[in-house]
């Protein structure tokens, strides 16, 4: 397998992060210190320019690149590399004042208030005036820096997300609908608009769903449209850069916890990047570790190759309700975890703490104190030292036999659908909990959606896949027929891609044959209610959702123990073609899925990265097809002894040969396989 690096010119792990030197433009001695400290922190990458627009174009049409010239040169001379951001997340204040049409309009129809600094993240994705201004600055930056040897890659905008209800966006939305439906009758039919007499007479009458709608399909179309507008806006920037330097590589920092379709975004990026801000500092760190690992695997799966961890917090953040300090060891372990799951970088926000404004107490590598003599600095520096020692993993990716399904359209539909209380049905949370079963068993996983290739997986776990299109229905049937195993749950296949309910019983169409069941009703339990499940001689708890299903060809493996549906099946398996389809008809508290999927993993002989683990320990493998690197991480509050490996390995940090290891609290190992 060919190695793919973030940038061929510098095929090494990156360590660094956001650097905002324009804040210190009048104190060059700070810049001198920064270069010294960059080296002392074992950093080799700085992301610059994210918030530089007002420095680069202080007045309309007056450009001054002196600061950026100097800083890029200084970083290069100090042995560092630059990821250069387009500054378009935060236009200068004068621009917003002079051209208010560049601003996003909120769902209540208002522009943002224009106090100082308020324009960040508040511009419209379709505004022609903003495109014009963005086009000018991006072109100038590309012409000046694209060929600069210190510049490794381009970071487009920053954490781009949101929606705009301005006149232009509304007009574009109508055009999008017209293109899709052709006639307004088609749209009315698809939206089921006769319900409550909601039919429209022309496309011009349609408004985006301001703060919710009764017509689920309208909401789905709006989400699709906003994603496409953002993607188009990013592509506009990327096209300019590539027209100047066809070899330029572009990325942007994605946020997997937000509700946008990252698979679509990834199509226009050369590599994917992630920002991640876990809630470290809980009594147990395991939950955050699983959530982070899910996010990393998602971002790696977008392009099936290494990605960039662009931002994480060194220390604490400033915007959580409770800004906890990270315990000693977590910073390095979290960085190594990103690499374990496929990142070729460990990046932080930010290098030096802002002296004032909103982020003055947000964690940074260099604190207000200013030296390398802080706990966080030492941990960052140690992380950089470790990355140097494990640099040979750069370019390797993961080979997973299992996949977890996560689908943006399904997320949107479950966010808007009525009837299943509580309103927000917790799809993300549930997906991560299923992923946790694999994590706890040290089993690598890809995150996939309807467009992915299913054939390479022994097992696909598909929680709460409410939206099932004809295409997905056929793909599932084909996959199982050819020998795949699928594990689906409650809410499978109720509606099509327009959120219209499937007729003829759930789950959709031939999925009734694949799973061998028919699902008649779903019970939403009261918060204090529980349902008891009997499975394999053990008792488990169901909560929140219980479906009442009927067997067709499937065999019941577990049954409900209480209420009027006592004795009816709630966990089934069906043989279909050469494969098997499992159905879990209820939401469990975690124990059931661990137990049930644990058994299936054994039956399918899915390979674990280690021979025997411990609670709170997880292992991952990165490989280029020849060399194999094993990462083991310990998130438990205890030392983890006797972790037995699947063979003989060399420890990349100590050079020792090992076939079993012991990890201290928040400890880790990076090992190369010998045999
Ligand atoms: C986001 C932004 C950064 C910074 C951090 C603070 O990730 O991209 O510029 O504001 O939040 O946590
Ligand atoms: Zn707009």
Does the structure show a pLDDT above 80 at 422?
A: no
pLDDT score of 425: 87
Topology, domain 14-163+248-393: TIM Barrel (3.20.20)
Kindly state if the Cβ of 409 falls inside 6 Å of ligand 1. no
Q: Which residue from 647, 649, 642, 593 is spatially nearest to 613, judged by alpha carbons?
A: 642
pLDDT band at 110 (very low <50, low <70, confident <90, very high): confident
Kindly state if the Cβ of 349 falls inside 6 Å of ligand 1. yes
338: burial class by Cβ within 10 Å (0-12, 13-18, 19+)? Answer: buried
Kindly state if the Cβ of 47 falls inside 6 Å of ligand 1. no
Q: Which residue from 436, 430, 470, 463 is spatially nearest to 448, judged by alpha carbons?
A: 463
Q: Whose CA is nearest to atom 12 of ligand 1?
A: 317
Does the structure show a pLDDT above 90 at 593?
A: yes
Annotated catalytic residue: which of 33, 57, 311, 547? 311
Kindly state if the Cβ of 311 falls inside 6 Å of ligand 1. yes
Q: pLDDT tens across 448-489, in order?
A: 999 999 999 999 999 999 999 999 999 999 999 999 999 999
Q: Whose CA is nearest to atom 4 of ligand 1?
A: 349
Q: pLDDT tens across 168-195, in order?
A: 999 999 999 999 999 999 999 999 999 9
Q: Which helix (H) or strand (E) holds 331?
A: helix 330-340
CA dihedral angle for residue 605, residue 611, residue 612, residue 613, rounded to 10 degrees = -90
Does the structure show a pLDDT above 90 at 7?
A: no
- CA-to-CA distance for 56 and 22, rounded, in angstroms? 10
Residue of 83, 159, 353 with the most ligand 1 atoms within 8 Å of its CB, for mutation: 159
Residue of 359, 360, 361, 365 with the most ligand 1 atoms within 8 Å of its CB, for mutation: 359
Atom of ligand 1 nearest to the CA of 313: 12
- Which ligand lies nearest to the CA atom of residue 111 in the structure? 2
User: From the CA of 159, how far away is ligand 1's center (Å)?
Assistant: 8
Q: pLDDT tens across 253-276, in order?
A: 999 999 999 999 999 999 999 999
First-to-final CA distance of the chain = 20
pLDDT score of 675: 85
Does the structure show a pLDDT above 80 at 423?
A: no
pLDDT band at 117 (very low <50, low <70, confident <90, very high): low
pLDDT band at 111 (very low <50, low <70, confident <90, very high): confident
Kindly state if the Cβ of 227 falls inside 6 Å of ligand 1. no
Q: Whose CA is nearest to atom 9 of ligand 1?
A: 349
- Which ligand lies nearest to the CA atom of residue 164 in the structure? 2
Are 233 and 126 contacting, i.e. CB atoms less than 8 angstroms apart? yes
Which superfamily does CATH assign the domain made up of 610-673 to? Golgi alpha-mannosidase II (2.60.40.1180)
φ, ψ of residue 323 in degrees (nearest 5): -95, 85
Q: Whose CA is nearest to atom 1 of ligand 1?
A: 159
Q: Whose CA is nearest to atom 2 of ligand 1?
A: 159
The residue ranges of DSSP E strands in 231-312, in sequence order, are 250-251, 253-254, 273-275, 308-311
Residue 430 a catalytic site member? no
Residue 547 a catalytic site member? no
Mean pLDDT value across residues 650-662: 98
Are 41 and 14 contacting, i.e. CB atoms less than 8 angstroms apart? no
State pTM to two decimals.
0.97
Domain 402-603 = CATH 3.40.50.880: yes
pLDDT score of 112: 80
Are 460 and 403 contacting, i.e. CB atoms less than 8 angstroms apart? yes
Are 194 and 219 contacting, i.e. CB atoms less than 8 angstroms apart? no
The ranges assigned to domains in the chain are 14-163+248-393, 402-603, 610-673
- CA-to-CA distance for 190 and 192, rounded, in angstroms? 5
Q: pLDDT tens across 194-238, in order?
A: 999 999 999 999 999 987 788 999 999 999 999 999 999 999 999
Does the structure show a pLDDT above 60 at 3?
A: no
> CB-side exposure of 263: number of CA atoms within 13 Å?
16
Does the structure show a pLDDT above 80 at 245?
A: yes
- CA-to-CA distance for 408 and 190, rounded, in angstroms? 20
Q: pLDDT tens across 325-334, in order?
A: 999 999 999 9
Q: What mean pLDDT, rounded, does the chain reach?
A: 96
Kindly state if the Cβ of 157 falls inside 6 Å of ligand 1. no
Are 346 and 44 contacting, i.e. CB atoms less than 8 angstroms apart? no
Does the structure show a pLDDT above 60 at 2?
A: no
Q: pLDDT tens across 386-407, in order?
A: 999 999 999 999 999 999 999 9
pLDDT band at 491 (very low <50, low <70, confident <90, very high): very high
């Amino acid at each position: 397998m060919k190695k793919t690096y973030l940038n061929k010119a510098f095929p090494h792990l990156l360590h660094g992060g956001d650097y905002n030197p324009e804040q210190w433009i009048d104190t060059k001695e700070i810049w001198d210190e920064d270069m010294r400290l960059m080296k002392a922190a074992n950093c080799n990458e700085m992301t610059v320019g994210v918030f530089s627009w007002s420095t680069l174009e202080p007045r309309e049409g007056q450009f001054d690149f002196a600061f950026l010239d100097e800083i890029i040169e200084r970083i290069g001379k100090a042995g560092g590399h630059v990821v250069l951001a387009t500054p378009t997340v935060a236009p200068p204040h004068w621009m917003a004042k002079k051209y208010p049409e560049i601003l996003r309009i909120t769902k209540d129809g208002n522009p943002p208030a224009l106090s100082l600094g308020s324009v960040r993240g508040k511009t419209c994705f379709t505004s022609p005036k903003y495109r014009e201004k963005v086009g000018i600055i991006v072109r100038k930056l590309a012409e000046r820096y694209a060929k600069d040897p210190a510049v490794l890659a381009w970071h487009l905008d920053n954490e781009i997300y949101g929606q705009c209800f301005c006149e232009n966006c509304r007009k574009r939305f109508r055009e999008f609908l017209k293109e899709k439906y052709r006639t307004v009758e088609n749209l009315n039919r698809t939206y089921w608009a006769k319900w409550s007499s909601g039919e429209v007479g022309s496309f011009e009458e349609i408004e985006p769903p301001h703060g919710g709608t009764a017509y689920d399909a309208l909401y789905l179309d709006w989400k699709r449209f906003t994603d496409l507008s953002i993607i188009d806006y990013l592509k506009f920037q990327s096209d300019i850069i590539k027209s100047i330097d066809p070899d330029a590589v572009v990325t942007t920092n994605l946020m997997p916890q937000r509700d946008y379709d990252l698979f679509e975004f990834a199509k226009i990026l050369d590599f994917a990047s992630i920002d991640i801000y876990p809630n470290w500092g809980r009594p147990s760190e395991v939950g955050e570790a699983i959530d982070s690992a899910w996010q990393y695997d998602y971002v790696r799966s977008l392009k099936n190759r290494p990605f960039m961890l662009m931002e994480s917090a060194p220390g604490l953040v400033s915007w959580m309700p409770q800004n906890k300090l990270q315990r000693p060891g977590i910073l390095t372990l979290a960085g190594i975890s990103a690499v374990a799951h496929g990142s070729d970088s460990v990046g932080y926000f930010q290098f030096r703490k802002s002296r004032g404004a909103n982020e003055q107490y947000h964690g940074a590598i260099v604190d207000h104190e200013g030296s390398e003599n802080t706990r966080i600095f030492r941990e960052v520096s140690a992380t950089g030292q470790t990355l140097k020692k494990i640099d040979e993993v750069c370019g390797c990716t993961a080979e997973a036999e299992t996949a977890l399904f996560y689908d943006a359209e399904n997320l949107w539909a479950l966010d808007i659908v009525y009837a299943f209380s509580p309103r927000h049905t917790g799809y993300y949370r549930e997906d991560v909990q299923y992923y946790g079963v694999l994590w706890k068993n040290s089993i690598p996983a890809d995150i996939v959606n309807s467009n992915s290739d299913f054939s390479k997986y022994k097992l696909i776990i598909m929680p709460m896949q409410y939206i099932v299109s004809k295409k997905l229905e056929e793909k599932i049937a084909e996959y199982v027929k050819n020998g795949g195993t699928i594990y689906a749950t409650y809410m499978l296949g109720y509606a099509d891609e327009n959120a219209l309910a499937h007729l003829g019983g759930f789950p959709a169409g031939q999925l009734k044959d694949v799973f061998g069941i028919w699902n008649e009703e779903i019970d939403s339990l009261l918060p204090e209610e529980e349902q008891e499940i009997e499975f394999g001689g053990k008792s488990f708890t169901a909560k929140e959702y219980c479906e009442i299903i009927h067997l067709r060809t499937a065999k019941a493996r577990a049954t409900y123990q209480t209420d009027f549906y006592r004795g009816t099946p709630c966990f089934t398996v069906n043989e279909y073609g050469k494969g098997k389809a499992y159905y879990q008809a209820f939401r469990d508290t975690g124990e059931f899925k661990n137990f049930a999927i644990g058994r299936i993993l054994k039956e399918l002989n899915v390979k674990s990265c280690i021979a025997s683990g411990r609670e709170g320990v997880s292992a991952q493998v990165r490989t280029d097809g020849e060399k194999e690197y094993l990462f083991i991480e310990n998130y438990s509050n205890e030392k983890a002894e006797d972790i037995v490996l699947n063979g003989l390995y060399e420890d990349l940090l100590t050079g020792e040969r090992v076939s079993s290891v012991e990890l201290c609290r928040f400890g880790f190992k990076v090992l190369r396989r010998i045999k």
